[in-house]
Amino acid sequence: MPETLPAEVAAAIPAPLRHRSRGVFAGRGGAWVIGLSVLMSLLALMPIAFIIGVSVQTGWATLATLLFRPRVGELLINTVLLVAITIPLCIALGVALAWLTERSNLPGRRWWSLLSIAPLAVPAFVHSYAWVSLVPPIHGLFAGVLVSVIAYFPFLYLPIAATLRRLDPAIEDVAESMGLKPWAVFFRVVLPQLRLAVCGGALLVGLHLLAEYGLYAMIRFDTFTTAIFDQFKSTFNGPAAHMLAGVLALCCLAMLTVESAARGHARYARVGSGSAREPRIVHLKTGSTVLALTLFTVTCALSLGVPLITLGKWLIAGGANVWQMAELMPALQQTLLLGVAGALLTTCAAIPIAWLSIRSPGRLQRVLESCNYITSSLPGIVVALALVTVTVHFARPIYQTTITVLLAYLLMFLPRALVSLRAGIAQAPVELENIARSLGRSPGRALWLITLRLAAPGAAAGAALVFLAISNELTATLLLAPNGTRTLATGFWALTSEIDYAAAAPYALLMILLSLPLTGLLYHQSKRTAGR
């Protein structure tokens, strides 16, 4: 880790900004906030710096032999096919389900809406565990696409449903008054307005496809991530693993670029003033209703029925024997401990950046923020490899300690905390803090009494999201955790690797129970952003 002196931090800040921020932050406080944000962003850039550094060190000749070989081509084809087939399927399914729950009079549509988000509560590798134990021969690309769609389509359903709820129905009325048929209205007016939601959701799904290890390892489908993991296990920290990680990181960056190009600069907010009317509800004919209900039933059966039935089967078959409390309880305890510590650390680290982005938005702040977003879009395995290498070489005392694991969580999940925290701080306009100061409170006291109090709900939501992400995290924990660490995820993984599916079932059940609040929170948040 580069040792960052205060003077260096100060030098990194352009002079005009320091000058201008004087009023907003009342002097020295501002420099501290900016300094901490810069420090966080430098830390976030470490995995990318690691990849570049390793590439330079390896040299072009070795690099070329490692990169241009049939194995890499094979992995690339696998990954591209997986992404290219899964994402369109997820988009189609997400749009169809969202339209049915938000814009049609489908019976029980509130329940279907909840059930469409519920698969998120099941970790992706538990999905594939369920499929493998239900249909043991399942493997390869088909299996990869099937389980990926089932595990990740809610990431598209959620934002699309929220956007559909928020769209101004007056625009559709106008389109219809211009003589467009209902189908034309949907394709020419409604669908284009879903672009941001579709882009954002598709990016999220794509990054998960690239980063996921457990899901694909279980059904024996090779992607970059599984290959890096195997390579790491056989040759530890060699250049082969590093170069694969480099290609994987490039894939992620390419995906970010494609998404931001697809997103464009268009404005999709409602232009008029006043609040929009309730959206129009389309009355389905009997045939369409039956078709829609079939779609929902099949989707739920695949995405919820299969995992729950499999789990139930193993739990019944295993009986009381599988509840090995002596192993289960420490795993639960360790998961909670890591989750709480990681959530607290990540939320605290997000405070300076969130603060800057609300109170002093500018070019520097945007650069700082995008550093964190880029790193968090890198797969956990790349972050983990970077941390292994850096700690082995530069910070031996923290190698294979909890500190390194927490650092990985911080790098991977910071944006989750950031987004919620930023919304929270936006609830507290700077004027309130000014008033508190004019009433005789020092800047620090004013921050504590007003802004942090008002931002607390947002911070709590962010911390909860991070906690739940950590409790299901597998890859980085496997690579970085000190010997003897056994979380629910790694415990589950160890048992399934021994094909002891019955003993793994209680771990899966506990993970699902821990994740249920996440699902509730997401459902609640999506309703709130829709203004209800």
Partner 1 sequence: MNTLELHSICKSYGPQRALEDINLSVPTGSRTVIVGPSGSGKSTLLRMIAGFEFPDSGRLTLNGQTLVDPTHEVPAHQRQIGYVPQDGALFPHMTVAANIGFGLSLKGLEKRERIAQLMDSVALDANMADRWPHELSGGQQQRVALARALAQQPRLMLLDEPFSALDTGLRAAMRKLVARLLADAGVTTILVTHDQSEALSFADQLAVMREGRLVQSGHPLDLYRYPGDEQTAIFLGDAVVMPARIEAGWAHCDLGRIPVNNHRNNRCAQIMLRPEQLQLVGIVSDSVEATGCRAVVTERDFSGNTCTLTVELEPSASADQPGRSLMVRSSGLYAPPTGSAVHVSTIGHAHVLSES
Interface residues with partner 1 (CB under 8 A) are 16, 20, 22-23, 26-27, 427, 429, 431-432, 434-443, 446, 450, 453-454
To partner 1, the closest distance from the beta carbon of 435 in angstroms equals 5
Q: How far apart are alpha carbons 336 and 425 in whole angstroms?
A: 27
- Taking the least distance from each CB to partner 1, the nearer of 75 and 421 is 421
Buried b (16+ CB within 10 A) or exposed e, 146-172: bbbbbbbbbbbbbbbbbbbbbbbeebb
To partner 1, the closest distance from the beta carbon of 323 in angstroms equals 45
Q: How far apart are alpha carbons 350 and 346 in whole angstroms?
A: 6
Give the 3-state secondary structure of residue 104. Answer: strand
Q: Left, alpha or beta for 358 (phi > 0: left; psi -120 to 50: alpha)?
A: alpha
- Taking the least distance from each CB to partner 1, the nearer of 75 and 450 is 450
- Taking the least distance from each CB to partner 1, the nearer of 166 and 359 is 359
To partner 1, the closest distance from the beta carbon of 421 in angstroms equals 17
Q: Which of 212, 77, 223, 228 is nearest to 151 (CA)?
A: 212
To partner 1, the closest distance from the beta carbon of 418 in angstroms equals 23
To partner 1, the closest distance from the beta carbon of 17 in angstroms equals 11
Q: How far apart are alpha carbons 93 and 446 in whole angstroms?
A: 49
- Taking the least distance from each CB to partner 1, the nearer of 3 and 431 is 431
Residues forming beta bridges with residue 104, ordered by sequence position:
282
**Sign of the C-alpha dihedral, residues 295, 296, 302, 305?**
negative
Q: How far apart are alpha carbons 354 and 21 in whole angstroms?
A: 16
- Taking the least distance from each CB to partner 1, the nearer of 22 and 366 is 22
To partner 1, the closest distance from the beta carbon of 14 in angstroms equals 12
- Nearest-Å Rg of the Cα atoms of the chain is 24
Residue 50 has which token pair? 């690691």
- Taking the least distance from each CB to partner 1, the nearer of 336 and 454 is 454
Q: Spell out the residues 6+ positions from residue 312 whose beta carbon is closer than 8 angstroms to its own.
A: none
- Taking the least distance from each CB to partner 1, the nearer of 199 and 447 is 447
To partner 1, the closest distance from the beta carbon of 18 in angstroms equals 13
To partner 1, the closest distance from the beta carbon of 20 in angstroms equals 7
The residue to which tokens 């906030």 are assigned: 33
- Taking the least distance from each CB to partner 1, the nearer of 31 and 315 is 31
Q: How far apart are alpha carbons 467 and 461 in whole angstroms?
A: 10
**282: phi then psi, degrees, rounded to nearest 5:** -90, 130
Q: Spell out the residues 6+ positions from residue 259 whose beta carbon is closer than 8 angstroms to its own.
A: 199, 200, 202, 203, 206
To partner 1, the closest distance from the beta carbon of 31 in angstroms equals 15
Give the 3-state secondary structure of residue 276. Answer: coil
- Taking the least distance from each CB to partner 1, the nearer of 18 and 441 is 441
To partner 1, the closest distance from the beta carbon of 23 in angstroms equals 4
The residue to which tokens 């390869």 are assigned: 140
The residue to which tokens 């009433």 are assigned: 439
- Taking the least distance from each CB to partner 1, the nearer of 414 and 450 is 450
